[in-house]
């Protein structure tokens, strides 16, 4: 009899344990592609990536238990291939002008906008008309980015030959070249430029920022076909974040507007 009771208690404990871990087992992993794109993502391959996207994923994971969003590092040139191949399931903050229409995907308009603006060094007599003609000026650009003035051709050789562009992997480096007189115009993501000016108010007065944009970002989320998460479901999660008052403050910290 004692053995029988012990066996029954053992079976009961195992059953209770399985019930306790069932929600964890039901949680679906969603890989989210990320490449260095400040201020959206900084150093995604590091142990502590920074930027809007990592903070957003933390908020989404705290919001619910159906999905576990995890950052997957990729590169600016490889990201669409990685999405199609299934290396990750979702990539955020992609603008339609960046050439992903031929990629197998489902898309969701995030209704979050940003822009790229021209920046020059303040000099006597220099005004907004300085940005009317880009030819013949030394351009400091971010390698791999698509620019409106170049018809979104991101080829490095083309940009160097046609616009005398110097390409780096840092907005800060481009702004430093500008301030030191080693470049005439840099093209900077507007939200990042505002964060830079917040961090370096002493340099802000030395920068002339164009009133017109090189391009407007109309950010979308791209989903892998037959992936674990559908656009409508993700839209619902973003709506819940917004309704709980978490989304707008997060976007505002990065000088972006809530949808």
Given this model, what pLDDT does residue 12 score?
A: 47
pLDDT at 216: 92
The pLDDT assigned to 4 comes to 54
Query: Check: CATH 2.40.50.140 for 114-216?
Result: no
Please list the pLDDT of the chain residue by residue as tens digits (259 residues). Answer: 444 545 554 544 445 455 454 444 568 999 999 999 999 999 999 999 999 999 999 999 999 999 999 999 999 889 999 999 999 999 999 987 777 767 888 899 999 999 999 999 999 999 999 999 998 999 999 998 889 999 999 899 999 998 889 999 999 999 999 999 999 999 999 999 999 999 999 999 999 999 999 999 999 999 999 999 999 999 999 999 999 999 999 999 999 975 5
Kindly give the pairing relationship between strand 67-73 and strand 28-34. parallel
The answer to whether 109 and 220 are in contact (CB under 8 A) is yes
Per-residue HEC secondary structure of 144-203 comes to CCCCHHHCCCCCHHHHHHHHCCEEECCHHHHHHHHHCCCCCEEEEEHHHHHHHHHHCHHH
CA distance 215 to 235: 25
Contact by Cβ (8 Å): 246, 259: no
172 CB contacts (<8 Å, ≥6 apart)? 196
Q: Which residues contact 219 (CB under 8 A, 6 or more apart)?
A: 92, 93, 94, 95, 109, 110, 112, 113, 114
Which tens digit of pLDDT belongs to each residue from 18-46? 545 444 456 899 999 999 999 999 999 99
Q: Delimit the CATH 3.40.190.10 region(s) of the chain.
A: 2-113+218-253, 114-216
Q: What angle do CA 257, 142, 53 make, to 5 degrees?
A: 40
Q: Write down the CATH number for the domain with range 2-113+218-253.
A: 3.40.190.10
**Tokens 């919001």 identify what position?**
63
Residue 21 contacts by C-beta under 8 Å, 6 or more apart in sequence? none
pLDDT of residue 236: 97
pLDDT, one tens digit per residue, over 50-90 is 999 999 999 999 999 999 999 999 998 899 999 999 999 99
């Amino acid at each position: 009899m004692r053995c029988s009771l012990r066996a029954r208690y053992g079976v009961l404990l195992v059953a209770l344990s399985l019930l306790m871990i069932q929600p964890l087992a039901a949680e679906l992993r969603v890989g989210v592609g990320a490449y260095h794109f400040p201020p959206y993502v900084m150093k995604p391959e590091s142990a502590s990536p920074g930027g809007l996207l990592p903070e957003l994923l933390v908020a989404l994971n705290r919001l619910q238990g159906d999905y576990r969003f995890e950052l997957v590092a990729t590169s600016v040139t490889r990201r669409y291939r990685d999405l199609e191949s299934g290396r990750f399931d979702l990539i955020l903050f992609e603008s339609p002008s960046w050439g992903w229409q031929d990629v197998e995907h489902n898309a969701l308009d995030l209704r979050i906008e940003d822009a790229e603006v021209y920046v020059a060094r303040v000099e006597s007599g220099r005004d907004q008309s300085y940005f009317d003609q880009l030819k013949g000026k030394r351009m400091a650009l971010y390698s791999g980015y698509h620019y409106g003035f170049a018809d979104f051709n991101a080829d490095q050789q083309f940009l160097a030959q046609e616009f005398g562009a110097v390409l780096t992997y840092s907005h800060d480096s481009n702004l430093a070249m500008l301030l030191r007189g080693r470049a005439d115009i840099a093209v900077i993501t507007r939200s990042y430029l505002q964060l830079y000016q917040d961090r370096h108010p002493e340099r802000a007065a030395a920068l002339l920022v164009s009133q017109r944009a090189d391009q407007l970002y109309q950010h979308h989320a791209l989903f892998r076909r037959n992936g674990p998460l559908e656009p409508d479901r993700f839209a619902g999660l973003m709506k819940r974040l917004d309704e709980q008052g978490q989304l707008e403050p997060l976007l505002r910290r990065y000088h972006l507007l809530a949808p």
